[in-house]
Structure 1
Amino acid sequence: MPPKVLYIDDDPGIGRLVQKTLQANGFDVELAYSGDDGLNLVRAKPYDIVALDHHMPGMVGLQVLKEIRALPNPPPVVYVTGSEDSRVAVAALKAGAIDYVWKDVQGHFRELLMQAVQTSLEQERLRRDMEAAETEIRLARDRAELLLKEVNHRVANSLAIVAGLLALQRHSLSDPGAQDLLDQMSARIIAIAGVHRRLYTSQDVTSVDLKEYLTSLIEDLKRAMGDAGHNHPVHLNCVPLSIPTDKAVSVGIVVTELVTNAYKYAYPDRADGEIRVDVTLREGQVVLTVEDDGVGLDKTQMAGGTRLGTRVMTSMTSSIGGKLAFSGGDSGTRAMLTFPV
């Protein structure tokens, strides 16, 4: 079907000449001789494009343009003006016209109008194609995010089942060393599951709110360590901060190791000793500390030991480009993890 054009001009003679020119180039052209008539036609019929004259009795072109642009899914409008005042053309473009044409007395504007209509229709087609492509991309992204949330949900549930099975296995063992190994493994699984749990409840699957994640992780560790007979208050202070998902997993595992170590070793003869977790930002670095007031740790062993927990923390710290350092003596231990935001 040929493109449908509505030309609005109060001069019937010019209107018929424009109609003849456009029809000769494959357009289906309808005429309106006033702004009101043109608006009624635009409201009643679908047009691919409207060409609109400026000087008309009653409702001038700028008023008609404003009314057309206010309609749902309005057609593009080419503004035609014989005024030599450039401010008219500027006002039309600001009001939403896609293009404008100077109406000269010799009638050459008809060829220019035809070119403007052709160009404007092509621009409108490209705009619609781009909108359709953006919509499809957005829908595809939404589908992918929904699928990813479902995957995270299933992974979190599966990890929770594994942690539960480890807990059952622990209760069937009498060897304290074996029980401790299962406790450590269960805590690491809880840390990883916590990230996936945060992801399937979040609108953003690329990052994790660190404060929310650590709050949930610490509560999980409290329950797990309480079941193992370790009960100490843990206080968290964390600045508002989101970090990439892969970093959150590594940070969670390091925090799990540090907090469980403090639970098990910091207060061997006390039930009231507290553990403090603090997260701040300093010169583009995240500074995370885990601190207690207990008996202190053998820093030499922590810095160069070969225990599994130490190797796990070293690996996780390296994966996020961070550094892990220990300080303290006989009156407590302070572990500091620093890594780039």
Structure 2
Amino acid sequence: MAGVLDTVNSRTQMVGQNRLELLLFKLGTSQVYGINVFKVKEVLQCPKLTMMPKLNPVVRGVAHIRGGTIPILDLSMATGAAPLPNVENSFVIISEYNRTVQGFLVSSVERIVNTNWESIHPPPSGTGKESYLTAVTELDGKLVEIIDVEKVIAEVVPSGDAISDEILEEIPQEDDEDLGHILIVDDSSVARKQVQKCMESVGLETTLFKNGAEALEHLKALVEQGINPADKYIMMISDIEMPEMDGYTLTSAVKADPNMSELHIMLHTSLSGVFNHAMVEKVGADDFMAKFSPDSLASKAVNVLKGDYNPVYKGGE
């Protein structure tokens, strides 16, 4: 297992080409799961865990790793299955999501595979709203399930989603007129609802899509109707990691089309790392923000709405 992520930093050139690499793992059964390598900071044998009072049962303890204290979540329990046995023989995937670092307890880590977002598909329609799947793909004739980690974290460690009064006071007051419309693109049901609630809290209408392919089709349909997407939407807030078409590819396609290029695009993602900043500029996005800060997100939307937002990207938060 040592060295399985040694070359992660050298793989960032794939970003923006609708490609990704998945770290495959298991949760005590033969089913294979995947997580984007770019969300993984480290993989290690499960260290000694310290139990803490009042933790969610899914948190099997905390680990002291490289000077920090990290909660270790049992992904099997988090998705409704039995706790993983033999914790000491398990592995921990240390990852960073939504500005937080946590470890995911898994029974085994398999390998890293190179694939593309076109081969990653939304989960079957019959999986239901309670499913923890955000996408599926097929590798070597076997189904690989990608867990909606944002949903897991939101349930285990709920974060506040209220917008401060200070931000709300900045919202322009329009009589008998809609403030504007926001296009939201994200494959995570939790993330879509978070952004939708945030935007509607400041008085904006929302239209939601689950991946970049659906959003691009919608924008092209508007153009065919003679509608400039920039006239309909004050901005598009898009995730980066999505089945079928990622946010980088979506942004490139929109900005390359003179009929849509004026649409203000902010990439809103749980991914972290300096490669994001370079890629945001490369694909032509107007801004980038790490998930999820209600005040920051609302403030950016209000600034765009008020027309005092500089559209030149100057670095994400």
Give the number of the structure whose alpha-carbon radius of gyration is greater.
Answer: 1
Greater RCO (CA < 8 Å, at least 6 residues apart): 2
Larger fraction in strand: 2
Fold conserved between structures, TM > 0.5? no
Q: TM-score if structure 2 supplies the norm length?
A: 0.36
Would you tell me which structure has more helix in proportion to its own residues?
Answer: 1
TM-score by length of 1: 0.33
